[in-house]
């Protein structure tokens, strides 16, 4: 009976070390290629209808996930999307020092005021591995040295260990909540969705989506403007002017001259490679002019029927048998603007032996004159727009019946004819407010009194309610005043 056995020689065994902990460092010139990036979070308004900016969504997600247990009025539920992560769990173990005093050193400050900002630095899994080791984060810059203290707090060694924010070890998030350190990394420019309308007959269809873009902590690089596909939509071929960001639709592309709605996304970068959120661009091409038709004004038909006064002195030679009664019925045709056929029966008394002379010479008084009035009476809209010097990029857009009629991006005034039943509304966009006057105000006065104010963000948009031209306005002047101002607070 044979016996089989398996044996391993020493040369058959190899050992491969597993790297359980490693470190990596990146300079400001190479960090863009690592997947490490920063994004801003802003405590902005959220409405039931309409889209919510990405910065506002990030602010609310971070607040709920990592700070809701420390804030009054936080909404907690059992769904995974509302899980709250305590730093003790994120640290995967006891706190530094393993004492009761140090265990309470997980500091959680979060700005809750309107317009409050945070900066979120994201470290990808490829860089952090399973999780970030405690006391391993290190970020230096001009005048600051940020490290984590082992308890999940980010402090500045260069400034008496002042609290800067928090690090979530297991997920690779560094959250800067101290407003003085908001610009330790640039989060990319703030951009907005864009909507443009062109007539199919326009030979040059151009627009600039960067006119209202706001840099974060570093200058914006206009030449980095890029377009990306929008799912299920076409977009005409286009060229981009790298010096000013102007986009020109190609006339060689057939859809540039085809009625329809086209969409794309766009992004732009900063000098420190921070990239803006992808915002949609909607281009609508319309046939605004119907060829071969013209409008002709038709005056209304006159309603009054004038009654002319006719005076007749007849001369006749009658046959007299005593006191005759002579009836004369002349027919007179008169056309003053209407046709009147009066019937006149005068009674003439004659004396015997007298031969009267009858003359039929009618005298017509008066000749009526009919002047038609315009079917739609008008009023005069007197408008003005005041833009402060700090509100660079601000403008006022007055719409009549939903169509833009008056667009002013500088301080100015003028008049415009409006008609009975016209619906007037206005959009005022205020931006470019910085420094101590970082609060943007858009407001109106006159026939429309409305306002919009966004504190500490430098930008706001007012889409006013509407005003309908009434019968009492006809023949008068109605006024609408618009303002874009920058200040230190809403008033």
Residues 124-177 pLDDT 10s: 877 767 778 888 888 998 899 999 998 889 999 999 999 999 999 888 899 999
How confident is the model over 62-75, as a mean pLDDT? 71
Weakest-pLDDT range from 99-113, 189-203, 425-439: 99-113
Instruction: Check pLDDT > 90 for residue 326.
Output: no
The pLDDT score that the predictor gives to residue 251 is 92
Residue 8 banded pLDDT, cuts 50, 70, 90: confident
State pLDDT tens for residues 391-425. 777 899 999 998 999 998 889 899 999 998 899 99
Q: How many CB atoms lie within 10 A of CB 100?
A: 8
Calculate what percentage of the chain has a pLDDT beyond 70: 69
Residue pair 277/188 in contact by the 8 Å Cβ criterion: yes
Q: What is the CA radius of gyration of the chain?
A: 41
Residue keyed to tokens 């020092």? 97
DSSP β-ladder status, 325-327 and 309-311:
unpaired
How confident is the model over 27-36, as a mean pLDDT? 71
Q: How many CB atoms lie within 10 A of CB 12?
A: 7
The pLDDT score that the predictor gives to residue 439 is 87
Residue 239 banded pLDDT, cuts 50, 70, 90: very high
Cα separation, 61 vs 236, whole angstroms: 36
State pLDDT tens for residues 426-443. 999 888 888 778 888 888
Taking the model in full, what pTM does it have? 0.52
Calculate what percentage of the chain has a pLDDT beyond 90: 40
Cα separation, 472 vs 478, whole angstroms: 10
Cα separation, 250 vs 195, whole angstroms: 18
Q: Give the highest mean pLDDT range of 118-122, 375-379, 417-421, 487-491.
A: 118-122
The pLDDT score that the predictor gives to residue 456 is 77
Residue 350 banded pLDDT, cuts 50, 70, 90: very low
Return all residues near 253 (Cβ < 8 A) that are at least 6 apart: 236, 237
Higher per-residue confidence, 12 vs 44:
44
Instruction: Check pLDDT > 70 for residue 343.
Output: no
Is the four-CA dihedral 167, 168, 173, 179 of positive or negative sign? negative
Task: Report whether the peptide linkage leading into residue 366 is cis, meaning its omega lies within 30 degrees of zero.
Answer: yes
Cα separation, 206 vs 199, whole angstroms: 12
Residue 9 banded pLDDT, cuts 50, 70, 90: confident
Cα separation, 192 vs 485, whole angstroms: 20
β-pair partners for 220: 270
Q: Give the highest mean pLDDT range of 331-345, 376-390, 432-446, 464-478.
A: 464-478
Residue 33: φ, ψ to 5°: -95, 0
Cα separation, 39 vs 270, whole angstroms: 12
Token code pair at residue 166: 């928090």
Cα separation, 239 vs 297, whole angstroms: 45
Cα separation, 303 vs 219, whole angstroms: 71
State pLDDT tens for residues 358-381. 445 555 555 555 444 444 678 999
Residue 320 banded pLDDT, cuts 50, 70, 90: very low
The pLDDT score that the predictor gives to residue 489 is 76
How confident is the model over 456-472, as a mean pLDDT? 87
Instruction: Check pLDDT > 90 for residue 490.
Output: no
Range list for CATH 2.60.40.10 in the chain? 194-286
Residue pair 186/216 in contact by the 8 Å Cβ criterion: yes
* CATH architecture of the domain with range 194-286: Sandwich (2.60)
The pLDDT score that the predictor gives to residue 177 is 95
How confident is the model over 208-225, as a mean pLDDT? 94
The pLDDT score that the predictor gives to residue 371 is 47
Q: Coil, strand or helix: which one is 320?
A: coil
The pLDDT score that the predictor gives to residue 250 is 95
Higher per-residue confidence, 187 vs 458:
187
Residue 4 banded pLDDT, cuts 50, 70, 90: low
């Amino acid at each position: 009976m044979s016996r089989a056995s398996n044996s391993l020689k020493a040369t058959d065994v190899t050992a491969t070390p597993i790297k359980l902990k490693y470190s990596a460092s990146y300079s400001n010139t190479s960090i863009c290629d690592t997947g490490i990036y920063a994004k801003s979070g802003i405590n902005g308004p959220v409405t039931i209808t309409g889209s919510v900016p990405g910065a506002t969504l990030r602010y609310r997600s971070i607040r709920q996930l990592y700070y809701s247990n420390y804030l009054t009025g936080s909404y907690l539920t059992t769904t995974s999307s509302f899980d709250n992560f305590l730093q003790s769990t994120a640290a995967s173990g006891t706190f530094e020092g393993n004492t009761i005093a140090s265990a309470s050193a997980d500091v959680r400050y979060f700005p809750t005021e309107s317009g409050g900002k945070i900066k979120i630095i994201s470290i990808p899994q490829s860089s952090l591995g399973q999780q970030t080791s405690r006391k391993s984060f290190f970020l230096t810059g001009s005048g600051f040295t940020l490290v984590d203290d082992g308890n999940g707090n980010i402090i500045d060694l260069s400034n008496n260990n002042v609290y800067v924010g928090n690090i979530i070890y297991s997920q690779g998030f560094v959250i800067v909540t101290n407003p003085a350190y908001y610009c330790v990394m640039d989060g990319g420019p703030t951009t907005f969705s864009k909507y443009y309308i062109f007539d199919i007959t326009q030979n040059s269809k151009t627009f600039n989506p960067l006119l209202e873009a706001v840099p974060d902590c570093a200058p914006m690089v206009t030449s980095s403007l890029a377009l990306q596909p929008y799912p299920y939509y076409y977009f005409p071929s286009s060229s981009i002017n790298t010096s000013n960001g102007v986009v020109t639709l190609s006339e060689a592309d057939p859809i540039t001259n085809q009625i329809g709605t086209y969409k794309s996304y766009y992004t732009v970068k900063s000098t420190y490679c921070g990239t803006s959120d992808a915002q949609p661009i909607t281009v609508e091409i319309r046939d605004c002019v119907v060829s071969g038709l013209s409008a002709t004004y038709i005056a209304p038909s006159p309603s009054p029927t004038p009654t002319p006064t006719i005076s007749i002195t007849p001369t006749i030679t009658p046959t007299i048998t005593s006191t005759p009664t002579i009836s004369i019925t002349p027919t007179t045709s008169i056309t003053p603007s209407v046709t009147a056929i009066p019937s006149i029966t005068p009674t003439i008394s004659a004396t015997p032996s007298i031969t009267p002379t009858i003359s039929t010479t009618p005298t017509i008084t008066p000749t009526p004159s009919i002047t038609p009035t315009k079917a739609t009476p008008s009023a005069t809209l007197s408008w003005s727009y005041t833009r402060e010097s700090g509100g660079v990029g601000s403008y006022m857009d007055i719409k009549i019946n939903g169509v833009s009629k008056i667009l002013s991006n500088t301080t100015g005034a003028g008049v415009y004819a409006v008609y009975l039943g016209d619906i007037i509304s206005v959009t005022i966009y205020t931006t470019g407010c910085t420094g101590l006057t970082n609060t943007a105000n858009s407001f109106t006065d006159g026939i429309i009194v409305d306002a919009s104010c966004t504190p500490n963000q430098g930008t706001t948009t007012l889409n006013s309610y509407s005003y309908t031209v009434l019968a009492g306005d006809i023949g008068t002047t109605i006024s609408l005043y618009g303002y874009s101002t920058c200040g230190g607070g809403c008033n």
